[in-house]
């Protein structure tokens, strides 16, 4: 009896120490009055106020959404575009854990963290867009939609992939908490979680495109195709890796030297070149598929219209151009040029996803949807809040 009480007391003491440690970690680390903090904090506070206002007074209080346009910026940007940017996680984990390309291992945890946070925050953005948020459970249980619907598949892919990414990142959390035995156990689960996550992510990326297959009469013919799921999947590869290049370059400046290992700049450049090569190859495949879709749909005449000009801006300016820049950066060994190409690619992905979901959606209507400033502000606040959480984790865990 005495030994049991002693063991319980020891357990409570360990729990108390861990709790005090975690609470202590919420204290700020580093400078508070930085330009980023000064600019972003008011925007986050305003965004949170607008979110509360939206839940109290309904969607119509801060959005221009309607029965004709039920999907707006919060779906087109926060969810559809954001999930594409999170694609770097499944690509990098595939290269490291399956192909055994060890040179990319240093960026694995940061990429997984970014992917997990993206899915977590964009799940929150999805709740914002639902008129009745409590009905978010319906696609998961098949209520009103049925278990054979695309939305049912996408909902389960989304949920399970978030869990898989959490398991992939969990060894870093165990290290932070000093739970060595738990860390060893979680590391044994990592490979299985990676394989499961890669499978789910490829299905999820294409599944998002499959949602738009049901809107054939509503999406402009230049953007609609039965191959949308394939196009979404292929574009998620170079979208996600471009985000990894961009985010890694920012991290090099923001977190060095305190939170980054002392490695030569050449090592980081080699990682950038490797990712640039994959981006270039997949963008070439994407362009080839776009050409096939254009020929298959016989939409040549539409290229001479105003919508055709906008389509060419997207394809030539934000796919072909960065593809050439990626290729040239490899030839001249310029990491800066690769980063520029990555930034242009990211802008192109935003334009493409918004074209499919918002801009070219019901292009024939005389009165079109346009987001209010409050919708834009909430989206910006969500992105900034995600950056704050990413920074908090990086400063306390072995991520970089």
The pLDDT > 70 percentage for the chain reads 94
Instruction: Give domain status of residue 344, yes or no.
Output: yes
pTM over 0.75: yes
Instruction: Give domain status of residue 360, yes or no.
Output: yes
Selected residue with higher pLDDT from 130 and 322? 322
Distance CA 310, CA 297 (A): 18
pLDDT band at 383 (very low <50, low <70, confident <90, very high): very high
Instruction: Give domain status of residue 18, yes or no.
Output: no
Phi, psi of 31 (to 5 degrees): -70, 145
Distance CA 398, CA 177 (A): 11
Give pLDDT, residue 93: 94
Instruction: Give domain status of residue 9, yes or no.
Output: no
Give the contacts of 205 (CB within 8 A, at least 6 positions apart). Answer: 83, 84, 87, 232, 233, 236
* pLDDT tens string 157-173: 888 999 999 999 999 99
The CATH number for 277's domain is: 1.20.1630.10
Expressed as residue numbers, the domain containing 193 is: 33-394
* pLDDT tens string 182-241: 899 999 988 899 999 999 888 889 989 999 998 999 999 999 999 999 999 999 999 999
Distances (CA, A) of 77 to 11, 74, 202, 378: 47, 6, 19, 11
Instruction: Give domain status of residue 77, yes or no.
Output: yes
Give pLDDT, residue 31: 78
Give pLDDT, residue 117: 92
Instruction: Give domain status of residue 22, yes or no.
Output: no
- The residue assigned the tokens 């990142």 is 169
Instruction: Give domain status of residue 399, yes or no.
Output: no
Give pLDDT, residue 378: 94
For residue 230, what are its two tokens? Answer: 């394939």
* pLDDT tens string 243-289: 999 988 888 777 765 655 555 556 788 999 999 999 999 999 999 99
Summarize the confidence of residues 336-346 as an average pLDDT. Answer: 96
* pLDDT tens string 323-334: 999 999 999 999
Give the count of domains, the chain: 1
Alpha helices in the chain (DSSP H): 2-24, 35-57, 73, 82-85, 88-93, 108-129, 137-141, 150-177, 180-211, 228-254, 265-297, 306-312, 321-332, 335-354, 373-394
Give pLDDT, residue 244: 94
Instruction: Give domain status of residue 15, yes or no.
Output: no
At 361 the three-state DSSP class reads strand
């Amino acid at each position: 009896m005495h030994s049991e009480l002693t063991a319980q007391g020891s357990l409570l003491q360990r729990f108390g120490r861990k709790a005090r440690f975690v609470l202590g970690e919420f204290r700020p680390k580093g400078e508070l009055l930085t330009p980023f903090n000064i600019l972003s904090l008011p925007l986050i506070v305003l965004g949170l106020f607008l979110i509360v206002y939206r839940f109290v007074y309904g969607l119509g209080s801060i959005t221009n959404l309607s029965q004709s346009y039920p999907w707006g910026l919060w779906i087109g940007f926060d969810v559809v575009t954001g999930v594409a940017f999170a694609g770097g996680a499944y690509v990098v984990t595939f290269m490291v854990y399956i192909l055994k390309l060890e040179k990319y291992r240093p960026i694995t945890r940061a990429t997984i963290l970014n992917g997990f946070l993206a899915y977590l925050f964009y799940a929150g953005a999805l709740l914002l867009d639902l008129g009745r948020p409590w009905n978010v459970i319906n696609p998961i249980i098949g209520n009103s939609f049925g278990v054979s619907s695309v939305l049912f598949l996408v909902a389960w892919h989304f949920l399970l992939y978030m869990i898989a990414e959490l398991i992939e990142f969990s060894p870093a959390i165990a290290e932070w908490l000093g739970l060595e035995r738990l860390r060893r156990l979680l590391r044994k689960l990592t490979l299985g979680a990676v394989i499961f996550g890669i499978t789910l992510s490829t299905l999820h990326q294409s599944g998002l495109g499959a949602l738009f297959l049901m809107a054939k009469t509503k999406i402009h013919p230049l953007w609609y195709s039965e191959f949308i799921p394939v196009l979404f999947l292929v574009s998620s590869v170079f979208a996600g890796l471009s985000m990894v290049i961009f985010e890694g370059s920012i991290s090099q400046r923001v977190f060095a030297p305190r939170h980054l290992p002392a490695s030569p700049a050449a090592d980081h450049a080699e990682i950038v070149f490797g990712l640039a090569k994959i981006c270039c190859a997949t963008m070439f495949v994407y362009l080839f598929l776009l050409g096939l879709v254009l020929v298959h749909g016989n939409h040549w005449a539409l290229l001479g219209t105003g919508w055709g000009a906008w389509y060419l801006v997207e394809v030539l300016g934000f796919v072909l151009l960065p593809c050439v820049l990626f290729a040239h950066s490899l030839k001249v060994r310029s990491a800066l040029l690769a980063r520029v190409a990555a930034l242009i690619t990211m802008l192109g992905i935003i334009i493409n996803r918004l074209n499919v979901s918002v801009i070219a959606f019901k292009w024939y209507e005389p009165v079109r949807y346009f987001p209010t400033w409050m919708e834009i502000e909430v989206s910006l606040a969500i992105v900034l809040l995600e950056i704050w959480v990413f920074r908090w984790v990086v400063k306390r865990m072995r991520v970089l």
